[in-house]
Amino acid sequence: MKVKVSDAIAGFFAKNGMTHLFGIIGAGNVHIFDSVYQNHDIEMVCVHHEQAACMAMQVYYRTCGKVTASVLTTGAGSSNGITGVLSAWADSIPCLVVSGNENSKYIHPGNHLRMYGVQGYDSSFMVQKITKYANRVMSPEMTLYELEKALWISLDQRPGPCWIDIPMNIQSSFIEEDDFLHFTPGQPDAEIQEKAAKSLNKAVAEIVDELTASKRPVIWLGHGIKLAGAESMITELMDKIPSAYLVSWAGIDMVDSDHPLLFGRAGVYGQRAANFILQNCDYLLSIGNRMAIPQVGYDITELTREAKITVVDIDTTELDKYPDRFNRTVHADAKDFLTALLGEVKAKPFAANHFSEWIKRCNQYKADFPWVDKEHADTKGFINSYKFMQRLNEDFKPDQVVVTDMGTALLSGHQVLKIKPGQKLMTSTGLGEMGYGIPAAIGASFARNKGEVLCLNCDGGMMMNLQELQTIAHYKLPVKIIIFNNDGYLMIKHTQKNIAHGRYAGVNKNSGVSCPDFSKLAYAFGFPAWQIRTWEDADKMLPELMACETAAICEVFMDPEQFFYPKLGLSVQKDGSLISPPLEDLSPFLDRETMAKNMLAGLHPKSQKIEP
Amino acid sequence: MKVKVSDAIAGFFAKNGMTHLFGIIGAGNVHIFDSVYQNHDIEMVCVHHEQAACMAMQVYYRTCGKVTASVLTTGAGSSNGITGVLSAWADSIPCLVVSGNENSKYIHPGNHLRMYGVQGYDSSFMVQKITKYANRVMSPEMTLYELEKALWISLDQRPGPCWIDIPMNIQSSFIEEDDFLHFTPGQPDAEIQEKAAKSLNKAVAEIVDELTASKRPVIWLGHGIKLAGAESMITELMDKIPSAYLVSWAGIDMVDSDHPLLFGRAGVYGQRAANFILQNCDYLLSIGNRMAIPQVGYDITELTREAKITVVDIDTTELDKYPDRFNRTVHADAKDFLTALLGEVKAKPFAANHFSEWIKRCNQYKADFPWVDKEHADTKGFINSYKFMQRLNEDFKPDQVVVTDMGTALLSGHQVLKIKPGQKLMTSTGLGEMGYGIPAAIGASFARNKGEVLCLNCDGGMMMNLQELQTIAHYKLPVKIIIFNNDGYLMIKHTQKNIAHGRYAGVNKNSGVSCPDFSKLAYAFGFPAWQIRTWEDADKMLPELMACETAAICEVFMDPEQFFYPKLGLSVQKDGSLISPPLEDLSPFLDRETMAKNMLAGLHPKSQKIEP
């Protein structure tokens, strides 16, 4: 029986459980849209800019674990999607972009015209360095093969985006169903697998020995655990190994923030207690955590200097990046590793109090350095964003799903919010692109059947995907957007204080950037709006916002110069020289006595020089 | 003297007359912003999405002829700009993108990590196929060399965008001023130049002979003439050679639309008279016109079948694309060609009445097939967009500058608007990306000292750069936006009528896409707004809109199913078969008798079969 290729593409989506797709129609994907609309197992979510499709698709996956696709058209319709693909690449999100293109007769190596046909260009070439696989279908028979291959690759090993370009004449052609070629992944070699398992078991046994012998271990849990589908093993891990634990930002919602062995989130914008614990440990086991610069700081030699470091990752490139500092690297899927590890510790159980001295000390750090502290006092009559976040946290619902944009929303959210089981916190941690918040909310809402999502945003980030407010309105998604209004780009203002003597350029109203009145904008899209300027406002309005059953916007006016604390910042000495301190020495600087008391091996030479 | 590299970059901008730059600040370009802000010869225009920067930069050039640059940051800040670069590539607009990136120590071929440093990626690789030159500065000394080279290349031969990536540590470094390397373009070889001039003169002499011998010549004037800076030579050309003339869409504003020898705009969405003239000519001389598919139709063998075709282009790839149909190709800059041509016809002048028979016939076509005709009648009580455009044209100011987005704004605008000397009409004709309108208006306004711009837009296109309404508000640009509201994506609706039996998918409110109330949106941004639904509204409101001295939005509600006529469309025969007619046979189809009367060599066999 002859089948239209676009119908087969829709069938591919449905067969692979892609109940929601994201995209915008155009001449280059009109056949696919038509076929998808006729397939009642799939809903096409029509956004207003393709970047939003590629971001929403990611957070859909993050929320419900189902891989899905964006369906883009040719020309600008596909180039518009690239930023969303780049962030999926950075954050290892499996997903598929299907782009249309001009008639395949125009697309060949001998065509050196600037455009293929009318609006076409070599989209799959453009994304080849930011996808795991990018290819073009040049004959109808290869359509399903390429889609199946791309989907398989996107999930294999370290996940990531794949991109398949399908010229419009291929989409509209008819071929015999039997003529479609299909992709069959190669079977892993049994011998190699056996060897790998053996080597993993050996490494795990040694790691358990090392852990057992250590006095101050930290296990750092990363997003790779979630990507490997091993999230549910974490509770057992924490039951069996009474170490101190940290989570990466992308991993926050894998563990109850109040778990007694979890001591928060370390990094450049880490929490003081978490950074002290990290920097004082004598054994660091990182699992599925790519040890990115925002986590480990700018100088790897300053990271947890007393510790032996073991890193478990699915990507050998990540394992090989600090050969002088990573004492042991284990190339494994986080789920395989955790399975082996749990097996090993069942055989050689830890006593519950094995690390009790260390846990006691960790609890002392926690008590001494609360997440919200005196550095988060309100300034100039404005509500401090960290204190606000803490207050907001109290109103969370048991199944609260939170997404954030960048800047204040990202930092205050990830430094302060406590996430309980059943709740979620998601953002773009790798690329960190402004504009992620609104599409993220759309993707998360569809992933929970048009459910409620809390979107933490900022004035700057709102503007980068403003048009998607209409997508929220159109689909009647109960997305509540809290906008931290800080008059522009607050993180860059602080950079300019550091590197340009406070000369502001392109960061606020006075230097070239302003934002509209978001309440008026809310009304234009038919949403209710609140404006919070005081704690009284917050007490009155937050419950109203949280009770609201529709989309809504709530603006929080904050100090346009508010600092993001704690952070790993430069120290300017009295003589004007700069010191870039080690990861434990966060700003605002503690007095040296406190620092010394909290660093078991003594102050780092650079910290000794700092004059707080 | 030691100079900060970012100061040298700002100096480069200023030295090259770039008084306005476009961009958004980020960690990756903060040094450049700082230096630019300290250079009082330059204004940085801060937009709200980088795609808008790259589009505004283009239309700035189109408006005032000054090449300028976009200053983007690393990560998403640069990937966001790609669509604007792609459209500059398609439309041959010289311009420069300067992107920031992470510290250069992360950027080397051995780094296979997914991201460079925190947020970096290989931006200059990504755009290499859609720029004339894309490179990265890897040492401070090379900064000016690369910028100078890129600027030179962007203007050399066929213009286009160039992209220079500058890691942040390079921007912030200091070097001796004398240590900067500079780019010196190679001197053209005198012998080669002489040969080329000789060969050009020979070709021109032959072309003049061919023209002289022809009975029904058409000279097709393209945007390449403007790009070559030869716009001012057109009047003399038309004085000296009394041929019939056509203009490409991008060339409309080069010639007074009412010039007695100018017979409009031919193409797939051509005017009937223009297409008849093109298709009946016996000699076609195309100058700086890339003979793109929207101009020449889908089958080159059906183009002006009685004519000898001579094509003059700066790009040999364009010249070589139809070797069987282009009888003569001349590889030359349009200015050089016109100079030689004018020289030749001064020596061998044409009598003013040399082609008078043909011009008489052309005038008959013009009289018989007016631009706005009975196919543009109002439907379902809505104002027809073509008639509206004609009405709007009456209110144009002597220096009216018009930019359009895509869809209705593009088609009705370019098919109907008459442009007088001193007026301008600009859009993205190559890539045709939705969203071009608002940034185009911003670029054009800055190019005329924050002057007035009329932006013709549609509901769909508005959404793709909605955030830039705030840029208009912030800089108080008197941009008047007319939005043709046709409930979604009207061109695609017509495609779906053709290829999907009218099954709508993702094109209007009922199929997944809606737009906000643009009047409410206007108020949110502080703009006055009008809504035109009837001719009475138009008569009352258009003068108010045109008199308004601030930014303003005026929505025109049109038939959501209105056809775009005339157009080269398929003919569905009574037996259900489809005929794709030749370029002269536009829809709605004329009766065959009229068609036959107007085609001197008789009806094309396909046209004979069509049953209107």
B378-393 pLDDT tens trace: 999 999 999 999 999 9
> Of B86, B469, B520, which has the smallest distance from its Cβ to A523's Cβ?
B520
Q: Considering only CB atoms, which chain B residues are within 8 Å of A434?
A: 76
pLDDT for position A478: 98
| Cβ contact, residue pair B470, A172, below 8 Å | no
* Tens of pLDDT, residues A74-121: 999 999 999 999 999 999 999 999 999 999 999 999 999 999 999 999
Phi, psi (rounded to 5 degrees) for A482 = -100, 120
Terminal-residue alpha carbon distance, chain A: 78
- Environment class of A198 (CB within 10 Å of its CB; exposed 0-12, middle 13-18, buried 19+): exposed
pLDDT for position B576: 83
DSSP letters for B468-482:
GHHHHHHTT--EEEE
pLDDT band at A419 (very low <50, low <70, confident <90, very high): very high
Q: What is the helix (H) or strand (E) element at residue A79, kind and residue range? A: helix A76-79
Taking CA atoms, A139 is separated from A14, A268, B224, B346, B499, in Å, by: 22, 50, 36, 56, 21
- Min distance B167 CA to chain A CA atoms (Å): 16
- Do B85 and B54 form a contact (C-beta atoms < 8 A)? yes
Which residue on chain A is closest to B82 by alpha carbon?
A79
How big, in percent rounded to 5, are the helix, strand and coil portions of chain B? Answer: 45, 15, 40
Which residue on chain A is closest to B34 by alpha carbon?
A505
Q: Considering only CB atoms, which chain B residues are within 8 Å of A51?
A: 80
Q: Considering only CB atoms, which chain B residues are within 8 Å of A468?
A: none
Please state the ipTM of this predicted complex. Answer: 0.97
- Min distance B293 CA to chain A CA atoms (Å): 6
| Cβ contact, residue pair B523, A521, below 8 Å | no
Per-residue pLDDT for B573 more than 90?
no
Both structure tokens of B395: 């209110």
> Of B30, B48, B86, which has the smallest distance from its Cβ to A79's Cβ?
B86
> Of A34, A321, A521, which has the smallest distance from its Cβ to B524's Cβ?
A521
Per-residue pLDDT for B612 more than 90?
no
User: How crowded is residue A512: how many other Cβ atoms within 10 Å of its Cβ?
Assistant: 24
Which residue on chain A is closest to B39 by alpha carbon?
A505
pLDDT for position B482: 98
Cβ neighbours for B593, distance < 8 A, ≥ 6 positions apart: none
- Min distance A144 CA to chain B CA atoms (Å): 22
| Cβ contact, residue pair A514, B474, below 8 Å | yes
Q: Considering only CB atoms, which chain A residues are within 8 Å of B517?
A: 524
Beta-ladder partners of B284: B218, B309
| Cβ contact, residue pair A76, B87, below 8 Å | yes
* Tens of pLDDT, residues B68-86: 999 999 999 999 999 999 9
- Min distance A445 CA to chain B CA atoms (Å): 16
Taking CA atoms, A483 is separated from A316, A463, B295, B541, in Å, by: 39, 11, 48, 37
Both structure tokens of B127: 């755009």
pLDDT band at A612 (very low <50, low <70, confident <90, very high): confident
Q: What is the mean pLDDT of residues B163-176?
A: 98
- Environment class of A425 (CB within 10 Å of its CB; exposed 0-12, middle 13-18, buried 19+): buried
Both structure tokens of A133: 């696989």
> Of B33, B467, B521, which has the smallest distance from its Cβ to A464's Cβ?
B467
Q: Considering only CB atoms, which chain B residues are within 8 Å of A474?
A: 509, 512-514
- Do A370 and A364 form a contact (C-beta atoms < 8 A)? no
Residue B45: helix, strand or coil by DSSP? strand
> Of B470, B513, B526, which has the smallest distance from its Cβ to A463's Cβ?
B470
Per-residue pLDDT for B48 more than 90?
yes
pLDDT band at A575 (very low <50, low <70, confident <90, very high): confident
Per-residue pLDDT for A474 more than 90?
yes
pLDDT for position B572: 86
Which residue on chain A is closest to B320 by alpha carbon?
A113
Which residue on chain A is closest to B28 by alpha carbon?
A492
**pLDDT over 90, % of chain A:** 98
| Cβ contact, residue pair A83, B79, below 8 Å | yes
Which residue on chain A is closest to B33 by alpha carbon?
A505
pLDDT for position A574: 87
What DSSP character marks residue A66?
-
pLDDT band at A409 (very low <50, low <70, confident <90, very high): very high
CB contacts < 8 A (A, B): 255
| Cβ contact, residue pair B118, A293, below 8 Å | yes
Q: Considering only CB atoms, which chain B residues are within 8 Å of A86?
A: 75-76, 79, 121
Per-residue pLDDT for B469 more than 90?
yes
Which residue on chain A is closest to B132 by alpha carbon?
A114
- Min distance B318 CA to chain A CA atoms (Å): 7
> Of B44, B121, B172, which has the smallest distance from its Cβ to A506's Cβ?
B44
pLDDT for position B162: 98
> Of B44, B126, B507, which has the smallest distance from its Cβ to A25's Cβ?
B507
Q: Tell me the one-letter amino acid at A565.
A: Y
**pLDDT over 70, % of chain B:** 100
* Tens of pLDDT, residues A93-102: 999 999 999 9
Which residue on chain A is closest to B86 by alpha carbon?
A76
| Cβ contact, residue pair A506, B27, below 8 Å | no
* Tens of pLDDT, residues B479-538: 999 999 999 999 999 999 989 999 999 999 999 999 999 999 999 999 999 999 999 999
Per-residue pLDDT for A188 more than 90?
no
> Of A474, A496, A506, which has the smallest distance from its Cβ to B514's Cβ?
A474
- Do B14 and B39 form a contact (C-beta atoms < 8 A)? yes
| Cβ contact, residue pair A473, B499, below 8 Å | no
Q: Considering only CB atoms, which chain B residues are within 8 Å of A129?
A: 121-122, 125-126
Q: How far apart are CA A458 and CA A409, in angstroms?
A: 6
| Cβ contact, residue pair A76, B292, below 8 Å | no
* Tens of pLDDT, residues A242-297: 999 999 999 999 999 999 999 999 999 999 999 999 999 999 999 999 999 999 99
Q: What is the mean pLDDT of residues B561-571?
A: 95
| Cβ contact, residue pair A470, B514, below 8 Å | yes
| Cβ contact, residue pair A113, B507, below 8 Å | no
| Cβ contact, residue pair A496, B24, below 8 Å | no
Best of A58, A79, A295 to mutate (most B CBs within 10 Å, chain B): A79
| Cβ contact, residue pair A126, B121, below 8 Å | no
Residue A483: helix, strand or coil by DSSP? strand
- Min distance B412 CA to chain A CA atoms (Å): 19
| Cβ contact, residue pair A90, B27, below 8 Å | no
Torsion over CA of A224, A227, A233 and A238, rounded to 10 degrees?
30
| Cβ contact, residue pair B30, A496, below 8 Å | yes
Which residue on chain B is closest to A122 by alpha carbon?
B129
Best of B5, B13, B21, B25 to mutate (most A CBs within 10 Å, chain A): B25
pLDDT for position B442: 98
Q: How far apart are CA B520 and CA B534, in angstroms?
A: 20
Q: Considering only CB atoms, which chain A residues are within 8 Å of B52?
A: none
pLDDT for position A454: 98
